[in-house]
């Protein structure tokens, strides 16, 4: 898999889901479902390794986002 730009992590930390997904799709030339899978994998990795950098708690993250 190609390396994702750093902006994806920043978007994930700041709850900018759509910009992160857009960048993932453009970088990997993948479908929306594939981008969602990549996003989720990266989100889980960041939650585990760098939890203090998130602006929202896990319970609040993604609230109001429907895919």
Residue 44 lies in a domain: yes
Mean pLDDT of 6-21: 96
- Whose tokens are 């899978």? That residue is 37
Domain containing 35: what range?
6-49
Residue 26 lies in a domain: yes
pTM, two decimal places: 0.88
Residue 55 lies in a domain: no
**Is the confidence at residue 2, as pLDDT, over 80?**
no
Residue 65 lies in a domain: no
Q: What is the largest CA-CA distance in the chain?
A: 31
Residue 61 lies in a domain: no
Mean pLDDT of 34-41: 96
Nearest in space to 53 (alpha carbons), one of 13, 25, 18:
13
Q: What is the 3 state secondary structure string of 8-61?
A: HHHHHHCCCHHHHHHHHHHHHCCCHHHHHHHHHHHHHHHHHHCHHHCCCCCCCC
Q: What is the pLDDT of residues 46-63, one digit of tens each?
A: 999 999 999 888 888 887
pLDDT at 63: 79
Domain total of the chain: 1
């Amino acid at each position: 898999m190609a390396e994702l730009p750093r902006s994806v992590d920043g978007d994930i930390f700041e709850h900018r889901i759509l910009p992160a997904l857009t960048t993932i799709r453009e970088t990997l030339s993948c479908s929306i479902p594939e981008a969602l899978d990549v996003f989720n994998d990266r989100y889980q990795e960041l939650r585990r390794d760098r939890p203090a950098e998130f602006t929202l708690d896990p319970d609040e993250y993604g609230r109001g986002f429907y895919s």
